[in-house]
Amino acid sequence: MEFGLTGIPNFGKVLFVSAGGMLGATSMYRISLYMFNLHSTDIFEVSPSFTNKIDAHLVANPILALELGIAMIAIGGLSAGALGYISSYPAIRLREDYLGMLLLGSAELFSVIAAFYQPLVGGPENMVAPDLLSPFGSNEKYVALVLLAAFAAIVYVYANRVSKSPLGRTLKAIRDNEVASEAIGKDNVAIRRKMLVVASILSGIAGALWAIYWSQIGALIGGDVGSTFPRLLYTFYPFTIVILGGIASNFGVLLGAIALTGIYIITTESLPSLVANVSISWVNPQLLNNFLNSLQYIIIGGLLIVILLVRPEGLIREKPTFTLSKKKLNEIAESVAGKPERRSSESRPEPQRRDSTTSAGA
Amino acid sequence: MASTIIYGGILSVMCVGLTVTYQTTKVPNFAFADFAVMGMNASYFSFAIFNLASPYFAAPFSMLAGGAFAVVMYLVIMRPMLRRGSSIVMLMVASLAVDILFTGVQADIVTIGFAPFSKAFIHKGFPTLVTAAPLPDFSAMGESGLLYLSPVFLIAVTASMYLLLTRSRFGIAMRASIENPGLARIAGINVDRVYTVSWFIAGALGGLAGCMYAIGDGMSLGIQSILILDIFAGSVLGGLSSIYGAVIGGLLVSFGENYVIGLLSQVSTQFSLLEVGGISMIILIVTLMVAPRGLVSVNWGKIIGRGRQ
């Protein structure tokens, strides 16, 4: 929604994702610590042992896990939204390229701060968060899957309704021609800010969900190695997904997400394990491992370049939105076709017609 | 202080390069640091293969490598997309894609390419494949040679750009193509060729900086992701529309990173850790908020005048 509809290049998307994840996780951790009366001078150092204790509690008390989970998601979403609001202040008036750089810069800054500012997520040491899904024991993965799928479905429906709504049309108008939309009277700045915040909230929730699943939050500098939310991946993958799928098409995004996630999994997990089992004598295994790590980047970067050169509209092209369903439109068309049109054309003032010929003539 | 000067020179050269790519394509080039890294690669390889007496002799190879990479990127990606009328955002994404692709390829280059040459690296052996020790530098008067040569390079680059842009026919064609490509075309300038050469120059500058960096700091995997932040900060601080602004911006960012952090760390140890890219991002953010077009766009006369009253 953010990029395709409004045209905001949120190169700092990882900022919001990680903010949501980290803040959500930390607050939940602290809350649970407080509740269970566990103290320590350095809570992060001993986090693994604490979480084990907490996990035991949670297994016994699943309702608590649910509450904590909801709280975490809420905190994650809200804090990310707040960050979105703050960063929109200076940025939203900037032109697209400057905006992109600003968001990227903020994301980097945040990751640096997070990596070194102890109270946030334990600085250079990773933090292990209590595993909220432990009540489900060995079914964890399936539960997480269901949760995520449900969330994705909700977001999808929401996004679809937005793009069909007047708001959606406004967003596209802003994206395509800022001057025109302002001339009509739409408040560009406010709307863009709103969309940024909404998208941030969603990202934050996503981050929190990820944290729940992964139950380990770290912000180590080291490029992509140490951090749970490596910069390039979390900003770049969404972009690639959107572009691959089709910029303004939600369904396309769905397709793109499936495709890309598939690629991701294949290159990071399936291939390495495949290779590990097959040992080729003349190939140094460590070399091969390095190869596979870099393969991910090469495929993604290459894929995006190819897409941009060959089919930048993505898999699903942007069609003019039908704000009413086709059936209704047909009904209206039929009912109008028979009526005499004199009365309506008299009452309607001329300026309403805005086809391209008139503007070219003017 | 020494590292400020050294890094300042390196960074400024890169900022100039980035500014050139921006002025021609109107898009901040995320992949610019990759030009520098290609330069680093070239400097290591050429140093080892040709058994050069001093790593500085590798500079021409680095410039060639950087320039070649830049031209390829321009011809294969930027130009087609520009012709198609792609938006600024898409071009940015494209440059980001190149960066990602390069990150992967670079990892392979380092993995395969550097291993055979590990014997050629005299200093400190060749510990892991992740970092390479700096190329051996000469030292004069107790300081590394780069301390003297970095400013020399910077001045040389700045002077050359100035002369190129003001005295040479091609330079004037460059300026015309940047300011108003349409009119330049009408005047008979092959804007496309001008842009291509401009990108070569920008890439060569990146490569040169890469060579300098290899001498000063060595090379490590992923360095381009860290460098690009400083480059953006410096270029934006100076003003993306001005090459001389880029020079100033680069120097200031380097100063900020090395010196200010040093000061702050005496206040609190937590601050000293911000050095890793934190300062440059703060500079970038503040600049974009206060004066997005950089220092050169600020009306200094007005401010100084007001102060005088």
d(CA A226, CA A126): 9
Beta strands in chain A (DSSP E): 127-128, 216-217
- Per-residue tens of pLDDT for chain B, all 309 residues: 667 777 888 888 899 888 888 888 887 788 888 898 888 888 877 777 776 666 677 788 888 988 999 899 888 888 888 887 777 777 877 888 888 888 878 877 776 666 555 544 433 333 333 455 555 554 444 446 667 778 888 888 888 888 888 888 888 888 888 888 888 888 888 888 888 998 999 999 999 888 888 877 777 766 777 788 888 888 888 888 888 888 888 888 888 777 766 666 666 555 555 555 677 777 887 787 777 777 777 666 666 665 555
Within a domain: residue B160?
yes
Cα gap B196→B191, rounded to integer Å: 9
Q: Which residues of A touch B114 (CB under 8 A)?
A: none
Cα distance between residue B95 and residue B125, in whole Å: 35
Q: Do A287 and B112 touch (CB under 8 A)?
A: yes
Whether residue B230 is contained in a domain is answered as: no
A105:B288 CB<8 A: yes
Q: What are phi and psi for residue A219, nearest 5 degrees? A: -135, 30
Q: Pick A223's closest partner by Cβ from B77, B98, B222.
A: B222
Instruction: Please tell me what DSSP assigns to residue B222.
Output: T
Please choose, from the candidates A313, A5, A359, A354, the residue with its C-alpha nearest in 3D space to the C-alpha of residue A174.
A5
Does a structural domain hold residue B266? Answer: no
Number of domains chain B is built from: 1
**CA–CA gap between residue B204 and residue B160 (Å, rounded):** 13
3-state secondary structure of B66: helix
Helix (H) / strand (E) element for A131: namely none
Asked if the structure places residue B246 within a domain, the reply is: no
Looking at the complex, report in whole angstroms how far the Cα of residue A349 sits from the nearest Cα belonging to chain B. 36
Burial group, residue B169, by CB count within 10 angstroms (0-12, 13-18, 19+): exposed
Task: Give the residue from B104, B130, B112, B222 showing the smallest Cα distance to A295.
Answer: B104
Domain span holding position B97: 2-224
Retrieve residue A119's tokens: 């109270």
Interface predicted TM-score (ipTM) over 0.90: no
Cβ contact, residue pair B100, A304, below 8 Å: yes
Q: Which residues contact A124 (CB under 8 A, 6 or more apart)?
A: A115, A116, A220, A221
Residues of A in contact with B105 (CB under 8 A): 294, 297-298
Report pLDDT digits (tens) over A204-256.
Answer: 666 666 555 554 333 322 222 223 334 455 566 666 766 776 655 566 666 66
Tell me the pTM. 0.72
Q: Are A309 and B81 in contact (CB under 8 A)?
A: yes
Beta bridge partners of B3: none
